[in-house]
Amino acid sequence: MEIEASLRLLERLSKRNEFLIESHHPLRETLMKQTGANEIERRKFLNALHMEASAVLIHQWEPVEIAEPLF
């Protein structure tokens, strides 16, 4: 998987998380506690984990898209 594809998936994850946080979903508090109090902190957190994981991975996996993404 190329870098662009992994960043696209990371962006989708961030959008999904922000949607859940803004909608006051029951996962809201958990997401905020684990990833950061505001959107900037949460993006930094996801990017840092992605960089850390990418440094040690042998290969990267990408799901097969079977429908249009919701996020």
State the Cα–Cα distance between residues 17 and 23, nearest whole angstrom. Answer: 10
Give the tens place of pLDDT for each residue, 18-56: 999 999 899 999 999 999 999 999 999 999 999 998 899
Give the tens place of pLDDT for each residue, 2-24: 567 788 899 999 999 999 999 98
3-class state of residue 40 by DSSP = helix
Which string of b and e fits 25-50 if b means at least 16 CB within 10 Å?
Answer: eeeeeebbeebbeeeeebbeebeeeb
pTM above 0.85, yes or no: no
